[in-house]
Structure 1
Amino acid sequence: GVFIDLGGVDGLLHITDISWGRINHPEDVLNLDETVKVVVLDFDEDKKRISLGMKQLTEHPWDSLPEGIEIGTKVKGKIVNVADYGAFLELQSGVEGLIHVSEMSWSQHLRNPSDFLEVGAELEAVVLTIERDDRKMSLGIKQLTEDPWTKADVVQKYAIGTEHKGVVRNLTNFGLFIELEEGIDGLVHVSDLSWTKKIKHPSEFVAVGEELEVQVLELDIENRRLALGHKQLEENPWDTFETVFEPGSVHKCTIISKMDKGATLELPYGIEGFCTTRNLLKEDGSKADAGETLDFKVIEFSKGDKRILLSHTSIFKEGSEKPVKKKPSKKASVKNLEATSSLGDLAALSSLKDKMDDAPAKKPAKAKKAAPAKEEAPVAEEVAVAEPAVEAESAKAKKAAPKKAAAAKAKPKAKKAAASAKVEEPEAEAKESEESKEEPTEDKK
């Protein structure tokens, strides 16, 4: 500030009270021994201090601001200060507006305002808000140009399938953001960076500031979203790999890294595969280590999951890669057993019926005796086979076996009775015919 001699008493004229406008040093406006008019702003009798003001002698510039300046109006001015959050544009002495850093560019990646503006630069801006009572005004520069998302050609320019080149602006755990042009950003998901490599973080593939070619996968104008992909610039190599890495084929592979469950392998053509720990065993009994290049046999290829499982042990040891067979369930065993027993009973009954039909009527007794014996034999065999299997499976199956056997025995008995009835009917008819022949003889006598 400046100390003013009031005639034996000094008063302080603070720098902010010298002018309505912004000044950097009092000597920009005042000189020593210069006589000026001031107004007393405050008097502290205890501390013997007097606060003075000079700008208060003139009208406030905001009061003389033209009424035509309102929201949307274009104004011109000079940059008088640049801060981390924005810059101040002076329209006239004492009237300033703030240009926030987010209003300097359509780009969503905020940078330092000094990258856009410098003190003393003259430029044009658009009024975004104005409060005359509070004497505040916010301005914007990017509004002087058209919003890139509202341009007429944005749909055709960024149509699905079109290819573009952009600058990597930000990296995240799930992907990276690329700026195709000012205000147009797109997301490349980490899974869309490479067909063959398993990338955990985008930093393994690209760095901020680098250029990357991409292809548009999705376009959402309403929500201003753009989904991009890098691997889509090339054909899916897994269509070709399906014929190259067939199960059983052997390839030279390098062990990239090892973990508890197994190791990651680098196959030809830059593709990666996986080998379980037990399949890393060498012929001499030692385990393969990271950095070694060995022959590996493909034991599984999944195009959909983009996964290749390999084994080094299976090259010299057959059967090491065979999957473990699942044991059949107890319920399935019991059902199969029941189905077998039922089929055996039907076969036995069918055989008995055929023999009875072919046998002569004079030998019904032999048929009746042979049929049960032949029929009971397969049933007995079925029960004999069934009982040990069911005992091995469950206690319930043990109880089911005798019931099946009893049912099987009941069927031939019923069949036997039916057969006996059929044999007796011809004998009765024979007797009646003989009696009918004897009657005429008696009449003749």
Structure 2
Amino acid sequence: MEVRLASKAGFCYGVKRAIELALTTAEENEGPIYTLGPLIHNPQVVKDLANRGIKEITVLPQNEGGTVIIRSHGVGPDILQEAQEKDVRIMDATCPFVARAQRYAREMAEQGLPVYILGDPGHPEVQGILGWTKGKGIVIEGAEEINPVEDHRVGLVAQTTQPLANYQAVVEALQKQGLQVDARNTICHATGERQQAALELAKTVDVMIVVGGKESANTKKLARICQETGTPTYHVESAQELQEDWFREAGTCGLTAGASTPDAIIEEVKRRMNEMDQMNGEEAMQDAMEVKSPRAGELVKGVVVQIGMDEVMVDVGAKSEGVVPRKELACYGVDNPQDVVKVGDEIECVVIKSEDNEGRLILSKERADAEKAWGGLEEAMEKGTIIQGTVREVVKGGLLVDVGVRAFMPASLVDRGYVEDLSKYLNEKISVRVIEMNKQRKKVVISRKAVLEEEYARKREELLETLEEGQTVKGIVRRLTQFGAFVDLGGLDGLLHISEMSWHRINHPSEVVKAGDELEVMVLKVDRENEKISLGLKQILPNPWDNIEEKYPVDKVFPAKVVRLASFGAFVQLEPGVEGLVHISHLADRHVAKPDEVVREGEEVNVKVLSVDPVEKRIRLSIREVNSEGRPAREPRQNKQETAPIVEENKEENGPTLGDVFGDMFKQEEK
């Protein structure tokens, strides 16, 4: 018997964080350590914590000292208030995803909205979220429990272990009542991944084992999801609960575990399953050797033994080999059969003819794939699960995608934004959701955009939870404005203000970055309430003012560039980010009325360092003292004025003067 472990199983981030916090608290603190209720829903882990001195209590202690750890499921504000009144030291191990659901519920209640909470009403996580709604919470387990409300706006959050399909059904039911729904998907992405991995595994095995606490909500949901596939499923807490009868007829067995199940317990169960392998080899051999006579419409399995250009030969264990014509290999046009199958591949086919004129079985792989695919597509659409497909053709208005059958994806649903060239997706394997289907008309419409939007929203929420000030992250510049650049951090855009781009003055962000650049930036501020992030680039670059006194010692001469003039002097740049002032009195060894009499912007000059103040980032410089050390001072600039020529009086000629001509006229005006 082959035992297959699900790709996602065992401890999630929130559970692991809670256990590590509990162990650290016990090591670093004296006095009694308690958990308010079981830290997680796993009896083995709770017992191990108790052996380490971390005891479970149901009510807060009465001024006995010690430390109380809030379990991963969280609590309501009344418990925190009670702890404060009793002066009890609290260590909060609430899962970040649960804390997010609590915050959303509180915000909605503060807006006056009725808050629907989708989940198990008896689960401590749901009870904790309910406590934050200020009496406006309504707990439901599904769409059928929704009752009419007087308000036209409502809020919705979900227990973090809820199946996505149940959440989507509730959203649709609320919207059908004409309500404006502020729906927040608070389902933990790790839960969704475990449920999807368990679902896919359960479809491929003979028996499914789910390991986890019997009180664990996420483990019980895993077991229910596996059972719904039709595969015999058994929920156990430990290896001791396994029974040999479960595996007698099983060729493959799947194994998964809830988010609160340690790796050691999973490994113990797996080892015990291998020990119980009681497969009857002789019966299996007889079944394999039995020769059957397939009939038209029957589904058969076979092994590819030969590949030609127009057909594929398949050994199906019958008296004669089966033939799959090239057009029956796939739902899309096949140029070379070797692109679809290889010799030795095991494939499923539907018998088209039990015997042609040459006595051969005529088979169709495409019909077998399609029949299997339709069942999976119906389930995927019903539960909102993600499926994989391969882009085969670009057509007018979108793409044709192979998902077992031919599916159409409109161009508007290919990506989150407009895609100019769809051909770049050809032969790419993509993740999509089924949004519309009709088996009778063989119509399937899919969306990649829905998957990307959900992934973007999940990453956005994760970023807001995990980003910290001072953290260095990578991002891609998406667009520029006059005041800065917006950088995509992988789900959320942060603002890189122009003042945080460089240590020197810049006029426009394009001087430093451009759209498409990949940057490493520092997180300066995280505003989780308004979902705003401030970034800095210069903080990870060398500060030109470091060791400034060593780089520019007093009395030394350095080249500089005049960058701007003021009435009191000239500012010069010693290097990008380092500017100093040459006071007007130090521009020349003569009186200067205006700085532009001596220098102009952009001019290269030599300056002498008079003083350096690294705290205030000020440097006093002098051009005058450089000139006085050997270079001739600059000649003062002359104003261009016309000077009247001096004409000597010709004493020999006593002609009339201008005074003689105009003198009487001036006298008349004076009168």
TM class, shorter-length: 0.3 to 0.5
TM-score, normalised to structure 2, is 0.28
Max radius of gyration: which structure? 1
TM-score, normalised to structure 1, is 0.40
Structure with greater helix percent:
1
